[in-house]
Amino acid sequence: MAYHSSNATRYLRAVVTCCALFGYLGVFTPAGARAQPPSDAASIERGGQLFQQYCTECHGRDGRAQLDVISDATNLTLPGDYYNGSTDQDMYNSIANGAGVAMPAWRPVVGSDDAVWDLVYYVRSLWAEQP
Ligand code: HEC
C-alpha cells in the first residue's frame, strides 16, 4: 500500500512538473496569445503564397490596393497609413479577426496561427520596397 501511494505521488509530481513546463512553453495558452513564431525567409515565402491566393483581390498583387476593387482597402506598403496600427500584434489581429467592415477574418480560412504570422511577416516585407 505504501509502495503504491508513493508511486502515485511520484506520478502526480511528474504530471505537475510537465504541466508547469508546457504551461511555461505556452502550450496551454489560448489561441492568439501563443508565443509569436520567428520571422524568416521561409515564413515570408509561405506568407507570399497565401497572399497571392487570398489577398490580392482587394489589396492588389503588390499590396498597394491601387485596383480599388474594394474601396478603402489599405495600401499595405505604407504602415503609417494603417487604420488599425502596424505593430506585429496589430497586424495579426487585423488579419486573424478581420478589420473595418470589408476585411474578412482570415484565421479560419488559413487554418493556423502560424499561417497568420506568415502573412504578417510577408506584409511587413512589403514595407522595405518603398522608394
Ligand atoms: C474583401 C476585400 C479584402 C480582402 C480579400 C483582404 N482584405 Fe485586408 N483589408 C481590407 C479592407 C477594406 C481593409 C481596411 C479595414 C479598415 O477599414 O479598418 C483591410 C485591412 C487590412 C489590414 C490592416 C491594415 C490597417 O489599415 O490597419 C491588413 C494587415 C490586411 N488587410 C491584410 C490582409 C491580408 C493578409 C489579406 C489576405 C489574407 C487580406 N487583407 C485580404 C479588405 C480586404
> Are residues 123 and 56 in contact, defined by beta-carbon separation less than 8 angstroms?
no
Cα separations in angstroms, 14 against 55, 60, 61: 46, 53, 52
Per residue in 12-44, pLDDT (tens digit) is 566 555 435 444 444 454 554 568 999 999 999
Same domain, 61 and 113: yes
Q: Residue with the nearest Cα to atom 6 of ligand 1?
A: 55
Same domain, 47 and 23: no
If one counts the domains in the chain, the total is 2
pLDDT at 66: 75
CATH number at residue 64: 1.10.760.10
Same domain, 22 and 49: no
DSSP 23: H
Domain-located, residue 36: no
Index of the ligand 1 atom closest to the CA of residue 109: 38
Rounded to the nearest angstrom, the distance between the alpha carbon of 7 and the centre of ligand 1 is 56
Same domain, 46 and 19: no
Distance CA 98, CA 9 (A): 48
- Which residues, other chains included, contact 52 with Cβ-Cβ below 8 Å and sequence gap of 6+? 61
Q: Per-residue confidence of the chain (131 residues) as pLDDT tens digits? A: 455 556 666 655 665 554 354 444 444 545 545 689 999 999 999 999 999 999 998 999 999 887 655 667 899 999 999 999 999 999 999 999 999 988 999 999 999 999 999 999 999 999 975 55
Domain-located, residue 35: no
- List, as one string, the DSSP characters of 49-61: HHHHHHTHHHH-T
Same domain, 19 and 57: no
Q: Where are the alpha helices (DSSP H) in the chain?
A: 2-25, 41-54, 56-59, 88-97, 107-110, 113-127
Rounded to the nearest angstrom, the distance between the alpha carbon of 68 and the centre of ligand 1 is 12
Range of the domain at 55: 41-127
Domain-located, residue 97: yes
pLDDT at 33: 54
Same domain, 13 and 72: no
Distance CA 130, CA 82 (A): 15
Domain-located, residue 122: yes
Same domain, 45 and 26: no
Q: Residue with the nearest Cα to atom 14 of ligand 1?
A: 73
Q: Smallest Cα–Cα separation from 74: which of 65, 61, 86, 66?
A: 65
pLDDT at 82: 95
Same domain, 65 and 111: yes
Rounded to the nearest angstrom, the distance between the alpha carbon of 62 and the centre of ligand 1 is 13
pLDDT at 35: 82
pLDDT at 25: 45
